[in-house]
Amino acid sequence: MKQKPLPNGRNAVPAKEQFAKITKELASSEAYNDLSASALRLLPHILMANGAAAARGSKDSHGRPVFTFTAREAKERAGLNSDAFSRAKAELVLKGFLEWVEHGGVLSLGSDSQGKPSTFRLSAGWRIYQAETKTKRDTSKAREARARKRACSSPM
């Protein structure tokens, strides 16, 4: 049976055949290389959700795709529990891959969004992300603190 084309003229792609486009620019960026394992597992699924939203025509007032991604989806697709999903999501926001359009969830403030999933869109902030550099002074302070901790905890 032939599939009906989507409103944008493209053919619908089954979920098992979806892909995430990770460009060379993205893969070699400082932000991408600074991601934790959980965030790296989540990012392709976020990119696929963005592509699916674009295909459906789910866009904001500026024409950018907006999508939802829940903890249940993170568990099913990326194998992340809710805590790992929350940390990975926060990291993707912090490093400029993702931005919230509308906060949702059971504990969200405001009666309009309570009980609804959060809405996201991709961000290009990863292009200007700079990893925090550790100075020699920070390293020496950490070593001194560790030495003091060992001195205090060693049996006499």
> Is residue 55 packed enough to be buried (19+ CB in 10 Å), middle (13-18) or exposed (0-12)?
middle
The model's confidence at residue 103, banded by pLDDT at 50, 70 and 90, is confident
CA–CA distance, 39 with 121 (Å, rounded to integer): 16
> Is residue 120 packed enough to be buried (19+ CB in 10 Å), middle (13-18) or exposed (0-12)?
buried
Per residue in 118-131, pLDDT (tens digit) is 899 999 999 999 88
Per residue in 25-42, pLDDT (tens digit) is 999 999 999 999 999 999
| Domain edges within the chain | 20-153
